[in-house]
Chain A
């Protein structure tokens, strides 16, 4: 399956905008991505190994956090994952 990489993280995946991985689940796909590109890890995960709060992972058009099986959700070659850091702001 394809994993789409947002502009700030492309420096860690040889400037590609998408990375191809073989995986049966969302979790396996993310693991395969960081095995292929270990420098990505600290940008996606906290020191405790959790996905950083501002990093959103979408399976096609669905937020993985809200899928019933979350990262254990099975995927096919036709699916795609998108990594999207959040966009927000404001003033007091």
Chain B
């Protein structure tokens, strides 16, 4: 299960509307326990795929290094990622799956149709290795989180 506050949920959906017709992407920070990824904050990242931004996203590893370091200083972990699908359903694609390597993390996808955010879905990357990984549908629970739980 993925738990996030209404403000984080809205923020990642709005990000997809702002970057439309291009894909947005970002990182979810929080903590995970008992199979629940709890998000305290969403950090926007730049999409480096300016060559094909309507159907590709990529976060520069250097930006991720910084985000991981800043998260650590706040006592938070990277628990997931989000991106948008401009004029495309909120389902993972073959490429999304092939390029997903953060086992145990949530991959959130928002469909943005004609500039307006529609469905938001989350997929948990399960498995223990690159060879046996799979995406599982994951429930998104939007609720106010108790501060300092992470």
> In this assembly, does A37 line the interface, its C-beta being within 8 Å of a C-beta of chain B?
no
Instruction: Please give the distance in Å from B105's CB to the nearest CB on chain A.
Output: 6
Closest to A42 in B: B129
Can you offer 24 A-B residue contacts whose CB atoms are under 8 A? A6-B102, A7-B32, A8-B101, A17-B77, A42-B129, A43-B130, A54-B101, A56-B64, A58-B65, A61-B62, A82-B69, A84-B64, A86-B99, A87-B64, A87-B99, A88-B57, A88-B58, A88-B59, A88-B95, A88-B99, A89-B56, A89-B96, A90-B49, A91-B85
> In this assembly, does A27 line the interface, its C-beta being within 8 Å of a C-beta of chain B?
no
**B99:A89 contact, CB within 8 angstroms:** yes
Q: Please give, as numbers and ranges, the residues of chain A lying within 8 Å of B85 by CB-CB distance.
A: 91
**0/1 interface trace, chain A 75-91, chain B, CB 8 Å (1 if under):** 00000001011111111
Docked Cα-Cα span, A56 to B61, in Å, equals 7
Closest to B101 in A: A85
Known: A7-B104, A7-B105, A58-B61. A91 touches B68 (CB 8 A): no
Closest to B75 in A: A17
**Size class of the contact patch on chain B:** 35 or more
**B49:A87 contact, CB within 8 angstroms:** no
> In this assembly, does B43 line the interface, its C-beta being within 8 Å of a C-beta of chain A?
no
Contact of A91 among B27, B62, B81, B88 (CB under 8 A): B88
Point out residues on B near A: beta carbons under 8 Å: 23, 25, 27, 32, 49, 52, 55-59, 61-62, 64-66, 68-69, 72, 77-79, 81, 83, 85, 88, 92-96, 99-105, 107, 129-130
Q: Please give, as numbers and ranges, the residues of chain B lying within 8 Å of A8 by CB-CB distance.
A: 101-105
Contact of B25 among A82, A87, A92 (CB under 8 A): A87
Q: Please give, as numbers and ranges, the residues of chain A lying within 8 Å of B92 by CB-CB distance.
A: 89
Point out residues on A near B: beta carbons under 8 Å: 4, 6-8, 17-18, 42-43, 52, 54-56, 58, 61, 63, 82, 84-92
SS class, residues of chain B in contact with chain A: mixed
Instruction: Please give the distance in Å from B84's CB to the nearest CB on chain A.
Output: 11
Instruction: Please give the distance in Å from A66's CB to the nearest CB on chain B.
Output: 10
**A91:B104 contact, CB within 8 angstroms:** no
**A89:B77 contact, CB within 8 angstroms:** no
Q: Please give, as numbers and ranges, the residues of chain A lying within 8 Å of B99 by CB-CB distance.
A: 54, 86-90
Docked Cα-Cα span, A76 to B141, in Å, equals 45
